[in-house]
Amino acid sequence: MSDEIKKGLLGIVVDETTISQVMPDINSLTYRGYAVQDLCEKCNFEEVAYLVLNGELPNKSELKKFKNQLEKNRNISINLREIVRHMPKKSHPMDVARTIVSVLGLEDKETTDNSPKANMRKVIRIFAKTPTAIAAFFRARKGKKIIPPKRNLSFAENFFYMCFGKVPSKDIVKAFDVSLILYAEHSFNVSTFTARTITSSLSDIHGAITGAIASLKGPLHGGANEEVMHMMSKIKKPENAFKWINKALDKKEVVMGFGHRVYKKGDSRVPTMEKYFKKVSKIQKDKKFIKIYDVVKSVMIERKNIHPNVDYPTGPTYHLMGFDTDFFTPIFVISRITGWSAHIMEQHAANKLIRPLSKYSGPDHRKVVLLNQR
């Protein structure tokens, strides 16, 4: 057995997956064999969620049934609604999201049943209810009336409706839908690996998703979309961008929304999201962020040869849609629940306890000295 340390599991292949494939050399990401760019242009988020969870794109009747199941399960219990209403208003919405899934686990009658059928039923409930509870906190912390979900609205439309009380134009909804498709799945990233690790002890799906949310919160992972907006707010106007980014690089700062463990020549999701970010900027008649975006991106590529990741364009896009900055990563959650769930079910289907080794570098073997002699 080799005792070579691979910090961060860099370059280690730990298992197989049939869910998605990241091919950095040809800048490609596929879900179940379909390129994400293709899915973004030809499908809506519900079709992609079905694909990620079931392995195939749905036909019309399968999609109708799936959407119906989601719509039926959108309501949350009075108990959960009251818990959300009484959460400290200053709580980070990612901590609230984590607690929401944990509470859903307390309420679910099948929490400890890890059979494939029960898991799929639980996935539908978690996927349908989590956005409702997150949107409830979006409003409750501002002292606004909580808006219950509405049937006959798409996943994206309903989320806007629950947050703002209205559905924006088709183009804005499409841009949001595309962001959800791009966020749905990304192989063995930190949060997915966390979910699989929790699952490997035969723990339950609510616990695995709760752990995954905690992992996604970090700024080196999903929390980066929020940090991108903080950076843009600090830059304030396009004229400041060149000086700001050069100064940050001189100080060797990590610039959020750039770099990736797997993609070293650019993130395959960025061109699609960038296109929709530009569309949203045009619709909202606000070009400030796109100008800052272009300057920071060109300096990062020129000086460091480090390319943007998907969080770079999604951050300002969500801002232009009216979402509070600290809700950007919870939006990531409502989409990634699909990818995490597919991985949890895949892990259950061919489980092996995940338990790596460590190299000990602490004190040598020594004898315990009794308390009164220390």
Ligand X SMILES: CC(C)(COP(=O)(O)OP(=O)(O)OC[C@H]1O[C@@H](n2cnc3c(N)ncnc32)[C@H](O)[C@@H]1OP(=O)(O)O)[C@@H](O)C(=O)NCCC(=O)NCCS
Instruction: Count CA atoms closer than 13 A to 12's CA, side-chain side.
Output: 11
Q: Could you count the other beta carbons within 10 Å of the beta carbon of residue 66?
A: 18
- The site map against ligand X for 193-222 (x = CB under 6 A) is ---------------------------xx-
Catalytic residue check, 260: yes
Secondary structure tally for the chain: helices H, strands E: 16, 3
Per CB under 6 A, which region of 36-44, 113-121, 166-174, 252-260 contacts ligand X? Answer: 252-260
185 binds ligand X (CB under 6 A): no
Per CB under 6 A, which region of 70-78, 175-183, 275-283, 304-312 contacts ligand X? Answer: 304-312
What single-letter DSSP state applies at residue 258? B
Nearest-approach distance from CB 189 to ligand X, in angstroms = 8
255 binds ligand X (CB under 6 A): yes
What single-letter DSSP state applies at residue 31? E
Nearest-approach distance from CB 328 to ligand X, in angstroms = 12
Candidates 311, 332, 334, 341; binder of ligand X (CB under 6 A) is: 311
Per CB under 6 A, which region of 72-80, 146-154, 198-206, 256-264 contacts ligand X? Answer: 256-264
Main-chain phi, psi angles of 268, to 5 degrees: -60, -20
Q: Could you count the other beta carbons within 10 Å of the beta carbon of residue 203?
A: 16
- Tokens, residue 47: 């079709």
Q: Could you count the other beta carbons within 10 Å of the beta carbon of residue 237?
A: 9
| Amino acid, single-letter form, for residue 362 | G
230 binds ligand X (CB under 6 A): no
Q: How far apart are CA 131 and CA 134, in angstroms?
A: 5
Nearest-approach distance from CB 60 to ligand X, in angstroms = 35
Catalytic residue check, 324: no
Sequence-distant (≥ 6) Cβ neighbours of residue 263 within 8 angstroms: 22, 24, 27, 307, 309
Candidates 224, 245, 337, 342; binder of ligand X (CB under 6 A) is: 224
229 binds ligand X (CB under 6 A): no
Q: Which of 311, 319, 326, 348 is catalytic?
A: 311
23 binds ligand X (CB under 6 A): no
Per CB under 6 A, which region of 239-247, 269-277, 305-313, 332-340 contacts ligand X? Answer: 305-313
Q: How many residues bind ligand X (CB under 6 A)?
A: 16
Nearer to ligand X, 22 or 123 (CB): 22
Candidates 131, 168, 211, 259; binder of ligand X (CB under 6 A) is: 259
Nearest-approach distance from CB 97 to ligand X, in angstroms = 18
- Tokens, residue 170: 């088709």
Q: How far apart are CA 60 and CA 241, in angstroms?
A: 48
Nearest-approach distance from CB 317 to ligand X, in angstroms = 15
Nearer to ligand X, 221 or 278 (CB): 221
Rg of the chain taking only CA atoms, in angstroms: 22
| Amino acid, single-letter form, for residue 92 | H
Per CB under 6 A, which region of 137-145, 207-215, 250-258, 344-352 contacts ligand X? Answer: 250-258
Can you tell me whether residue 22 is helix, strand or coil?
A: strand
Residue nearest to ligand X (CB): 259
306 binds ligand X (CB under 6 A): yes
Q: Which of 260, 307, 319, 343 is catalytic?
A: 260
261 binds ligand X (CB under 6 A): yes
29 binds ligand X (CB under 6 A): no
Annotate 253-319 with DSSP letters as a single string.
Answer: PPPTTB--SS-SS--TTHHHHHHHHHHHHHHTT--HHHHHHHHHHHHIIIII---B-THHHHHHHHH
Closest C-alpha among 185, 134, 100 to residue 327: 134
Q: What are the CA-CA distances from residue 19 to residues 181, 197, 228 (Å)?
A: 14, 17, 28
> Residues with catalytic annotation?
260, 311
The footprint of ligand X (CB under 6 A) covers 8, 220-221, 224, 254-261, 304, 306, 309, 311
